[in-house]
Amino acid sequence: MRLTVIAIGKLKQGPERELAERYRARFDDIGRKLGFRGLDIHEISESRAREAAARMAEEAAAIATLVPDGSALVTLDERGKSVDSAAFAAQLGRWRDESVPGTIFVIGGADGLLPELRRKAKLCLSFGAATWPHQMVRVMLLEQIYRAATILAGHPYHRA
């Protein structure tokens, strides 16, 4: 199973990009041994439309072009479900074991995600009720994906 993160907005050079890349590389090292075929990151430029609804629609259309049929769609949204790391790892492991071809994680833009896109998700995740900068959400997501791999591998990184 291939994992993909689709994010509205681009990370500039700096500590957030370096940390995100560190977790992505760590996942690649351990993920291949677990049957994951890699972790891709696609950045989509923010829409320049004047109204929020139009921006969300344009961004959703761009996201849709990157979501292959049969993939498990996971959206990140403050209204989503808060799951612990072990449950997150278990879900990724189930999708992998069910031969789901890919899991697509979507981080929306400043206006959030189009409701229709959220409804298509197999899982809507939240990192709490607080609103987080998109750069931090990406780093937290990549850390949780890496942590999930270490849990599945029985690696001591995750100590619960």
Binding residue ranges for S-adenosyl-L-methionine: 76, 108
Per-residue HEC secondary structure of the chain comes to CEEEEEEECCCCCCHHHHHHHHHHHHHHHHHHHHCCCCEEEEEECCCCCCCHHHHHHHHHHHHHCCCCCCCEEEEEEEEEECCCHHHHHHHHHHHHHCCCCEEEEEECECCECCHHHHHHCCEEECCCCCCCCHHHHHHHHHHHHHHHHHHHHCCCCCCC
- Identity at 60, one-letter amino acid code: A
Residues in the chain: 160
Known binding site: residues? 76, 108
Chain-centroid distance, C-alpha 56: 18
